[in-house]
């Protein structure tokens, strides 16, 4: 992926403060994602936190959720937009608690490389399933999404054995529509 070459010097400096080196960046197969500046407020997530996403993603998400509900499937929002600064804070907090950077980067994308920066990526859950767990794959909600999400312009970003070399995320879906 050529995306790493568009990482700007400002971001490089922020990453250096987190002890993330250019070597780490080059080892990351995810593309660099632009942070969206076009966000609207969606419903609160399942933890009661305010969530933001792009206008087109919100419309698609509302249509997707309603279509699922009409077939008895409840889709819950876990998280949507995440800023690059917020991603930096998450990693800084873990470093302060003494976690190793390599361990942190196995579960948190390098700031600038999370699809959540685009405002088009949603983590989705359903009742009686632990959020962000591979068990989501076993739910009727996941089966429904696999069959229907593309009609609402959503796709699974990280299937098994994906080209980005990151773990399988059955809960993470992104809207293809650019605002």
Nearest-angstrom CA–CA distance, 68 and 170: 17
Q: Which residues contact 109 (CB under 8 A, 6 or more apart)?
A: 28, 30, 87, 115, 166
Based on CB atoms, which residue is closest to Zn ion, 117 or 172? 172
Q: How many residues does the chain have?
A: 179
Shortest distance, CB of residue 111 to Zn ion, whole angstroms?
Answer: 14
Q: Which is nearer to Zn ion, 45 or 123 (CB)?
A: 123
φ, ψ for residue 40 (rounded to 5)? -130, 160
Residue nearest to Zn ion (CB): 172
16 or 107: CB nearest Zn ion = 107
Q: Which long-range contacts (CB under 8 A, 24 or more apart) does 163-167 make?
A: 163/29, 164/1, 164/29, 164/30, 165/29, 166/29, 166/30, 166/109
> Minimum CB separation from Zn ion for residue 144, in Å?
19
Shortest spacing between CB 116 and Zn ion, in angstroms: 6
In whole angstroms, the minimum distance from the beta carbon of 12 to Zn ion comes to 24
Task: Give contact residues for Zn ion (rule: CB under 5 A).
Answer: 123, 172
Nearer to Zn ion, 30 or 56 (CB): 30
């Amino acid at each position: 992926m050529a995306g790493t070459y568009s990482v700007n010097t400002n971001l490089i400096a922020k990453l250096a403060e987190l002890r993330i080196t250019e070597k780490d960046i080059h080892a990351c197969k995810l593309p660099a994602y632009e942070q969206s500046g076009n966000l609207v407020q969606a419903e609160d997530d399942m933890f009661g936190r305010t969530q933001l996403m792009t206008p087109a993603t919100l419309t698609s998400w509302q249509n997707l959720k309603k279509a699922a509900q009409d077939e008895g499937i409840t889709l819950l929002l876990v998280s949507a937009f995440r800023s690059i600064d917020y991603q930096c804070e998450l990693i800084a907090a873990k470093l302060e608690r003494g976690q190793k950077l390599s361990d942190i980067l196995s579960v948190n994308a390098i700031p600038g490389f999370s699809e959540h920066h685009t405002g088009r990526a949603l983590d989705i859950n359903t009742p009686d399933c632990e959020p962000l767990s591979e068990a989501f794959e076993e739910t009727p909600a996941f089966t429904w999404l696999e069959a229907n999400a593309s009609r609402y312009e959503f796709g699974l970003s990280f299937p098994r054995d994906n080209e980005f070399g990151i773990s399988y995320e059955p809960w993470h879906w992104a809207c293809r529509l650019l605002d």
